[in-house]
Homo-oligomer: A and B are copies of this chain.
Amino acid sequence: MQRYKAIITYDGTEFAGYQIQPNKRTVQSVLEAVLAKMHKGHEVKVTASGRTDAGVHAIGQVIHFDSPLAIPEEKWVTALNALLPEDLSILIVEKVSESFHARFDAEGKEYRYRLLLSKRRDPFVRRYAYRYPYTLDLEAMQAASQYLVGRPLDFTSFCSAKTEVADKVRTIETIDFLLDEDFLTIRFVGNGFLYNMVRILTGTLLEVGSGDRHPQEMAEILEKKDRRFAGKTAPAHGLYLWEVFYDK
């Protein structure tokens, strides 16, 4: 058996998220169906760096799987893409040691949240950016983000109340803001993110930016360790899993 690491990209619009669910079209189920086809019906389990929710996109999601097939790395890309639907694509496949694990070995991740700051609707970005037609105070958002970065913090207030992991301490290295005409992209780089965390952080930062909250409130929200004190969960369709980092 050979273990393979693959970098994949998908448009989340028509997937019910990453993880397998009965009778739903998910990224994992589509990948495993294609791998089973390549392995004469034998099941091949796929493990990702983490789940993504329904509607969330991925530019560089990472998975691993094991296969007895001796196929060169570039041929894997071609063979898988030939069988995969157009909204899910393999970018790179590489051989890795059998100890590699897409989830446990991930050292960090980058997520990006994309906003269209416009009163004008754009049919072509409706699924790829969250349209926010109100004026934003970017400086206030930057000030708020400083409460969230640079050291290990308990993000209980900034994750779904349904989060199952016990340890909710994570370190966000960077939150920055890239403004390109009407598009604002918020970039989050950190050692890990909890369930809905980027979307709740984004929703809360938007409330700061629109003047509904003071930047200093971030400290209080963190302290409360209660989801109800943070802002709204921003919609899934603005969110991109951009990159997963591994120690080389």
B124 to A11, Cβ gap below 8 A? yes
Q: Quick one: which of B86, B91, B122, B126 contacts A126, CB cutoff 8 A?
A: B86
**Does A105 belong to the interface (CB within 8 Å)?**
no
Copies of the polypeptide in the assembly: 2
Asked if A191 CB lies within 8 Å of chain B CBs, one says no
Residues of B within 8 A of A136 (CB): none
- Chain B nearest CB, measured from A118 CB (Å): 11
Specify which chain B residues have a CB less than 8 angstroms from the CB of A123 in the assembled complex: 9-11, 86-89
On chain B, the residues within 8 Å of A11 by CB distance are 123-124, 126
- Asked whether any CB of chain B lies closer than 8 Å to the CB of A233, the reply is no
Q: Given A11-B126, A126-B11, are A121 and B86 neighbors across the interface (CB < 8 Å)?
A: yes
* Cα A88 to Cα B88 with chains together (Å): 26
* A124 x B57 contact (CB < 8 A): yes
Closest Cβ of chain B to A75, distance in Å, is 14
**Majority-rule SS of A interface residues:** loop
Interface string of A62-91 (1 = CB under 8 A from B): 000000000000000000010000111101
- Tell me the bound Cα distance from A124 to B89 in angstroms: 10
A190 CB, nearest partner CB in chain B, Å: 24
User: Nearest CB to that of A121 among chain B residues?
Assistant: B89
CA distance A128 to B13 in the complex (A): 15
Nearest B residue to A88 via CB reads B123
A121 lies within 8 A of B81 (CB): yes
21 A-B pairs in the complex with CB atoms less than 8 angstroms apart: A9-B122, A9-B123, A9-B124, A10-B123, A11-B123, A11-B124, A11-B126, A57-B124, A81-B121, A86-B121, A86-B123, A86-B126, A87-B123, A87-B126, A88-B123, A89-B120, A89-B121, A89-B122, A89-B123, A91-B120, A124-B128
Q: A9-B124, A81-B121 provided; 12 other pairs, C-beta below 8 A?
A: A9-B123, A10-B123, A11-B126, A86-B121, A86-B126, A87-B123, A88-B123, A89-B120, A89-B121, A89-B122, A89-B123, A124-B128
